[in-house]
Amino acid sequence: MTRVYAVKKIKKRRSRFGPQQNGHEKELLCHRIASGHRNVLTLHHVIDSGDVLYLVLDYLPEGDLQTSLTEHGSMYRSHPQHIKRIFLQILDAVQHCHDKRVYHRDLKPENVLLKDFGATAVLADFGLSSRKASSVDFEIGSDYYMSPECYGELHCSKPYASVPNDVWSLGVMLFYMVIGSPPWTAARTGCKSFLSFLCDPDFFLRRYPVSAEMNRMLMHVFAIDPTRRMSIDQLRGYVQGISLFTVTESQVRRLRTVMARPPRATV
């Protein structure tokens, strides 16, 4: 039986001494170490042709989670069990990577592939991954998904831990799956939405149709202090236990009416 593979082409950097593989060894090492899990894209072979590296990977023709959310977002939002199934698989993949001391640093729907008619999620693209538990590489990743400490702004450019940085990205991914958009364009004070989040403890309840359960989880996964951010195991427990990610428009209006009332005076 013929098996089909995908091939990723990486052009080596050049110097006056010729093509240089430096910069790609990290991706290859991290991907090799992370391979072997059912929810991680398998790297089968690397072919070095001199100027170019060819990475031989599993071929998954169903596309990525971002495309699926764009084209079938209402299907996800109307079936919370499907969101749970896909997101829990992503958590399993990331936890496997962390157990192997591989930190992805670019977790987003574009880097999650789908197979089995959309029922199975597979983590891909280790181009920005690292084996360092602590990092001083700032603004590494994609704006929507980077944690505030990765921007360096709120934490005075101090070294930041790689695990909670990935957890923050996972929180944004789940929010995207549930709501259909990320909560902000960037987790920095120059972004009005993120600044509103910093100033308003009821930010999500005021702006989005999230349930009280979902709101409680978001406040833990988006803890500004990385040491207080929930772990992947805690995030998994929250997601498994949530009965509703969102509420109806009438429930939203009723909640916002209650929130807008001034507190009762006490005697």
Tokens of 204: 């999500």
Are 169 and 147 contacting, i.e. CB atoms less than 8 angstroms apart? yes
CA distance 21 to 78: 46
Cα 225 from Cα 212, distance rounded (Å) = 22
Assess contact for 107 and 95: CB atoms under 8 A. no
CA 97 to chain centre: 13
How far apart CA 35 and CA 142 sit, in angstroms, is 23
User: Are 93 and 65 spatial neighbours (Cβ–Cβ below 8 Å)?
Assistant: no
With tokens 């072979």, the residue in question is: 45
Q: Which of 38, 250, 216 is nearest to 123 (CA)?
A: 38
Distance CA 70, CA 93 (A): 23
**What's the number of CA atoms in the CB half-sphere (13 Å) around residue 43?**
21
Residue 44: phi and psi, rounded to 5, are -85, -45
Q: At what angle do helices 162-179 and 212-221 cross, to 10 degrees?
A: 150
| Token couple for 147 | 């944690």
Active site residue 106: yes
Which of 58, 64, 92, 106 does the annotation list as catalytic?
106
CB 54 within 8 A of CB 9: yes
Tokens of 156: 């005075």
- Catalytic residue numbers, as ranges: 106
